[in-house]
Amino acid sequence: MLSFIDTHCHLDGEEFAADRDEVVARAREAGVAKVLVPGIDLKSCQTVMDTCHQYPDFCYPMLGLHPEEVRADWRKVLEQIKYSLTSHLSPHTSKIIAIGEVGLDFYWSREFEQEQLEAFEEQVRWSVDTRLPLMIHCRKAQNEMVAILKKYGDNLPGGVFHCFTGNEIEARELLQFNRFVLGIGGVLTFKKSNLPQTLPTVVPLDRIVLETDAPYMAPVPHRGQRNEPAFVLEVLRKLAACYGVSEEKVARITTETVERVLLC
């Protein structure tokens, strides 16, 4: 049986409140060995930890402030998230595996552009200081994101550029960060996606990890439904077809990449 990892799933969300146990059971049955759960704000720092405590050795926590949650009070919020983060770095508590979900998002608005830039850079510094990798969200802000990351260069421990949907030029620019990989999810399966052509052209298979971003972005044939970790199998199958390799090879290589970048 295939065994693989969903590197980005909001399993703590209210969308799963009624049937979380069943969702986890379906994921295990599909071959999902681990699910990585990102925080997005102060409240989710607690729900992420609660979910990971509920499913030990299956769910792994990440903590951070999502760019769309950045407001004028971001400094105060980050102070509290940092407290949560550092209090869970003890070997006697659930191990935080990454700083995330963090980044920049100027898709809908630039109202808090400066605040987003400063909040992202502060969390990049956390990554450098703690040696925890980054789980990065970026929409309509790649130039700004790359500029910030370049300031820290080889000091960056690595991470994932979550939900990559870009072109060859954008992929090459991100892959210059040697310890980072691309998170590929349901968009790969969409009819109008350019990823099936882009990825094999410029992205080595060992620079990719699988993700769902559940409950969002369900892959074909589940598009329009609530996404869940079991559906990452559809992403794996499409990736195998794109690269002309077996599903077993994709499962093995992407799992090894997760272990190298996020679970080291």
CATH (domain of 181)? 3.20.20.140
Q: In what order do the strands lie in the sheet with 98-105?
A: 4-6, 32-38, 59-63, 98-105, 134-139, 159-161, 180-184, 208-210
DSSP string, 107-168: SS--TTHHHHHHHHHHHHHHHHHH---EEEEEES-HHHHHHHHHTTGGG---EEETT----H
SS3 assignment, position 6: strand
What is the pLDDT at residue 87? 83
How far does Cα 151 stand from its chain's mean position? 22
Q: Which residue type occupies 211?
A: E
CA 8 to chain centre: 4
Q: How many CB atoms are located within 10 Å of the residue 122 CB?
A: 15
CA-CA distance, 123 to 103, in Å (whole number)?
A: 9
Q: Which of 65, 2, 14 is nearest to 38 (CA)?
A: 65
Closest CA to 138 of 122, 111, 161: 161
Rounded-to-integer distance, Cα 53 and Cα 75, Å: 28
End-to-end Cα separation, the chain, in angstroms? 24
Q: In 3-state terms, what secondary structure has residue 105?
A: strand
- Distance, in Å, from the CA atom of 110 to the CA atom of 101, rounded to the nearest integer, reads 19
| Residue in 178, 188, 183, 181 with CA at minimum distance from that of residue 235 | 188
Cα 230 from Cα 199, distance rounded (Å): 23
Which helix (DSSP H) or strand (DSSP E) does residue 237 occupy? Answer: helix 232-243
pLDDT of residue 94: 63
Domain range enclosing 211: 4-261
Write down the pLDDT at residue 28.
98
Give me the tens of pLDDT residue by residue for the chain, a chain 264 residues long. Answer: 899 999 999 999 999 999 999 999 999 999 999 999 999 999 999 999 999 999 999 999 999 999 999 999 999 999 999 999 988 765 545 689 999 999 999 998 889 999 999 999 999 999 999 999 999 999 999 999 999 999 999 999 999 999 999 999 999 999 999 999 999 999 999 999 999 999 999 999 999 999 999 999 999 999 999 999 999 999 999 999 999 999 999 999 999 999 999 998
Its sign, for the CA torsion 47, 37, 60, 83, is: negative
Predicted pLDDT at 89: 66
pLDDT reported for residue 93: 52
What's the number of domains the chain is made of? 1
> What does the angle CA 183 – CA 187 – CA 161 come to, to the nearest 5 degrees?
20
